[in-house]
Amino acid sequence: MRHWWLGGFALLLGLLLGAPARASQDEQAAKLVREVSQEMLTTLEKRRAEVDRDPSLIFGLVDQIVVPHFDFEKITQQAVGKHWRDATPEQRQGLTNGFREVLIRTYAKALLNYSGQDIRYLPVKPGQRENTVTVPTEVRERGGPPVPIDYRMYDKNGKWLVYDLVVDNVSLIANYRDSFNTEIRRDGIDALIRHLGQMNKKGEV
| Per-domain boundaries in the chain | 2-202
- pLDDT at position 204, please? 53
Strands annotated E in the chain: 118-121, 125-126, 132-140, 147-156, 159-167, 170-171
CA distance 115 to 112: 8
Beta strands 159-167; 170-171: pairing state: antiparallel
Per-residue pLDDT of the chain (205 residues; tens, 9 = 90+): 444 333 443 433 343 344 444 556 678 999 999 999 999 989 999 999 999 999 989 999 999 999 999 999 999 999 999 999 999 999 999 999 999 999 998 888 888 877 777 889 999 998 888 889 999 999 887 777 888 999 999 999 989 999 999 988 899 899 999 999 999 999 999 999 999 999 888 875 4
Whether the Cβ atoms of residue 32 and residue 26 lie closer than 8 Å to each other: no
- pLDDT at position 119, please? 87
- pLDDT at position 67, please? 93
Which CATH class, in words, describes the domain spanning 2-202? alpha beta
**CA-CA distances (angstroms) from residue 87 to 48, 94, 97, 172, 175?**
41, 10, 14, 22, 21
